[in-house]
Amino acid sequence: MGKRDLVFIGLVVAGVFALGASLMPPREPRPTTHHDATVYNSPEFCASVAAVDEAFRGSWKGLQPAPHAPELAVARRLALGLIGAVPSLEEIRQFEFLPAAERLPWYLDHLLQDARFDDYFAERFARAAVGTENGPFIFFRRRRFVTWLAERLHRNVPYNDLVRDLIAAQGLWTNEPATNFLTVTVRQESRNQPDPVRLAGRTTRAFLGLRLDCAECHNHPFASWKQSDFRGLAAFFAQTHLGFTGIYDGSGEYEIDDRRSGEKKRFPPRVPFASDLLPSSGSRRERLGAWVTDRRNPYFAKAGVNRVWALMTGRPLVAPVDNLEGANTHPALEVLADDFASHSFDLRRLIRVIGASEAFRLDSAADHELSEAHDAVWAAFPLTRLRPEQVAGGVIQSSSVATIDSQSHLFVRLARFGQQNDFLQRYGDTGEDEFEGRGGTIPQRLLLMNGKLTREHIKEDLLTATGRIASMRLDDRGAVEAAYLTVLTRRPTEAELQHFVARLGEPKGESRGKRFEDLFWALVNSTEFSWNH
């Protein structure tokens, strides 16, 4: 073997070790994200959180609420809700390095400043706005739309501005990504023009939490909305056209065939309530966008809060998430909505208030009996099954002791993207209604137990958490604890510790590394891993 070959081999080996080392957290982790504690300690913020807490406590009469959850359990909830993954061992070490009072505020801000939050919430909002389908190939760019949303979230654009831009957007769907909200409804049967009916339905469900589209064909016997209400909203999109320059506003009216007269019946634009909030000037879509996002609109802020709450906890305050009709509300939702609107629809502030609220930080278990009544009024944190992307994100992050984020090696990020997409195709996507209660299936359980994603991420090698922890200079107790923190974001109980320490210390049979793989497999496939709690 020549010198050149030896040099090449040496470089490859050095590169592999360098990559492996880059996946390890420092021995003495330090928080790297800026955190301004004054935000959480300001009288105004504390008053908002206290008002939310009081609204919840008012519904707990006669019930003893669950105690506060361990701080690492709350950190896990924050990570699952804001980035769709579990905390890394590196983040946990940074978290525990801080004084106790600063840990949760720091971690919440750490996540809000992470590009993973922008990408994750952008995808969640995209599902509400344009669905999960790819749409018309020529006129719709879903990836472009999600990227635009992520960029707006990164800049913390007020939620009302973001929604108003979607409703009133003009231009090409490639250059003006907001117009994809409109072009996704283009169909050949509508002469390649945006569909006013679908746009009215999507607007009311996604941004007002109302199912006015249920009145599209006839007056519903149990709903307060009438067919004329829905047609009046559809008329706001009747002058929305698609041409060589993209989406533009032109002429046109919303008309339907009258079955009785055989003639076309025209419907003028009309809002179903709070007509005094509708501006008198501007294009029809500009006026509608201003009406939908007006802080005095009784549904806009509540719909936004209800969806954010659902993303952070796994369950909306009011279910279904897109049905806030009439008296279907919650005292805490009203308080949060008022606070959201009065603070310029600041999404990050809303998330901070929710994350600091008592209801969000309650345990899902207690020494006393917890009944369905506790669950109904949020006197205990609800147990919710992880959505598919959270399962995939949890498995992938659990395979690394370092945080897998935008600062990770390109190879790691590309692998994560491909692995997660492949897993979701096999596991099954929840679609647009992410919060509909669904039970797990046998094929899903088998995929998690025996599928490629789990198999590749628990194996013992240089780059996985299994291999890295097994190779650390830790005794068996320390190794088991590190595994539990990496996968379940908690330390093992004494009984769990003794069981797995004994298993790792068996003198015969498989190697210690293989037994460590078994430990990771058991933790990933535990019921606890697949639930938010």
Which are the contacts of 154, defined by CB distance < 8 A and separation ≥ 6? Answer: 115, 118
For residue 204, pLDDT over 60 is answered with yes
Q: Give me the residues paired with residue 385 across strands.
A: 531
The pLDDT of residue 14 is 44
Residues 379 and 369: their CA atoms lie apart, in Å, by: 12
Say yes or no to pLDDT of 429 above 90.
no
10 Å Cβ neighbour count for 157? 16
Distance of CA 464 to the CA centre of its chain: 26
Q: What is the pLDDT of residues 105-116, one digit of tens each?
A: 999 999 999 999
How much is the average pLDDT of 446-450? 77
pLDDT of amino acid 144: 95
In this prediction, residues 411-427 reach a mean pLDDT of: 70
What's the pLDDT band for 439 if we cut at 50, 70, 90? low
| Beta carbons of 504 and 519 less than 8 angstroms apart | yes
Q: What is the pLDDT of residue 129?
A: 94
Rounded Cα distance between 496 and 522, Å, is 12
Q: Which tens digits make up the pLDDT trace of 263-279?
A: 778 889 999 999 999 99
- Average pLDDT of the chain is 86
At 504 the pLDDT is 81
pLDDT at 363 over 50: yes
Reported as a pLDDT band with limits 50, 70 and 90, residue 348 is very high
Q: Check residue 33 and give its pLDDT.
A: 74
pLDDT for residue 406 is more than 80 = no
pTM: 0.90
Count Cβ neighbours within 10 Å for each residue of 112-126 and write b for 16 or more, e otherwise.
bebebbbbbbbbbbb
> Which pLDDT score, from 0 to 100, does residue 21 have?
45
CB count within 10 Å of CB 325 equals 19
Measure the CA–CA gap between 347 and 370, rounded to whole angstroms.
Answer: 32
What is the arithmetic mean of pLDDT over 323-351? 93
DSSP per-residue string spanning 107-161: HHHHHHTSHHHHHHHHHHHHHHHH-SS---TTT--HHHHHHHHHHHHHTT--HHH
Q: What are phi and psi of 246, to 5 degrees?
A: 100, -145
Q: Is 253 within 8 Å of 266 (Cβ atoms)?
A: yes
Q: What average pLDDT score do residues 280-300 get?
A: 96
Instruction: Report the alpha-carbon distance of residue 299 to residue 101 in Å, rounded.
Output: 36
Which residue has tokens 């890394």?
A: 88
In the DSSP assignment, the letter for residue 491 is: P
- Mean pLDDT of the region 84-89: 95
Cβ atoms of 329 and 39 closer than 8 Å: no
CB 319 within 8 Å of CB 330 = no
pLDDT in tens, 35-56: 777 889 899 999 999 999 999 9
- Both structure tokens of 394: 């949890």
225, 210 Cβ separation under 8 angstroms: yes
What residue ranges do the domains of the chain occupy? 1-30+383-533, 126-293
* Model pLDDT, residue 23: 45
- Whether the per-residue pLDDT at 328 is higher than 80: the answer is no
Compute the average pLDDT of residues 107-135: 93
* Residue found by looking up tokens 């106790």 in the block: 100
Partners of 193 in beta bridges: 187
Does the structure show a pLDDT above 50 at 25? no
pLDDT tens for 218-255 read 556 566 777 888 889 999 999 999 999 999 999 988 87
Burial letters for 72-107: b for 16+ Cβ neighbours within 10 Å, e otherwise? bbbbbbbbbbbbbbbbbbbbbbbbeebeeeebbbbb
**Residues near 178 by Cβ (< 8 Å), separated by ≥ 6?**
145, 148, 165, 166, 169
Among 148, 131, 78, 160, residue whose Cα is nearest residue 361: 78
Q: What's at 212, amino acid-wise?
A: L
Mean pLDDT, rounded, for 168-184: 95
Residue from 264, 273, 195 nearest 234 by CA: 195
So what's the pLDDT on residue 256?
80
Structural contact between residues 505 and 469, judged by C-beta atoms closer than 8 angstroms: no
More confident: 459 or 399 = 399
Token readout for 229 is 């209400």
Q: Rounded to the nearest 10 degrees, how much is the dihedral formed by the CA atoms of 8, 9, 10, 14?
A: 100
Mean per-residue pLDDT for 297-305?
A: 96
Which residue, 496, 461, 467, is CA-closest to 481?
496
